[in-house]
Structure 1
Amino acid sequence: MTDLTGAHWRKSTRSGDNGGNCVEVAMNLSGVVSVRDSKDSSGPLLTFTTQAWTNFIATAKREGRAS
């Protein structure tokens, strides 16, 4: 299990405050990126290596411009 003691969770500025479909992201000290549902902060996490997360974000940005 990933130790996220003291992790600083961040939510996208595009999420708004309407309780919609949002995720939060945090990086722990060993460089693992964790993602969780903002409505279920004690629920399951997805974890990624820093490189995998960087690749995901780059692809999402690239694909978002293609739409």
Structure 2
Amino acid sequence: MTTWLLSLAASPRWEPQISVLCEAGQTYHPQFLSEEGRWTTDLSIKVPGTTCLRDKMDLLDYCKKC
């Protein structure tokens, strides 16, 4: 199992963050931290056979989209 959390430095204002939990043989759903401060599951990229985001550049690109 691999867990990734990408966030920017602590700040008094909202900062984008994502979380990805990768379990072998499981469909994954990345999550992002909403402006309300709640982790929200992103169901928009649920594609059969999609692999877990592991590459740092892929994670950064996904974070920019959130």
Task: Give the TM-score taking structure 2 as reference length.
Answer: 0.42
More helix by share: 1
More strand by share: 2
Task: Give the TM-score taking structure 1 as reference length.
Answer: 0.41
Higher relative contact order (CA 8 A, sep 6+): 2
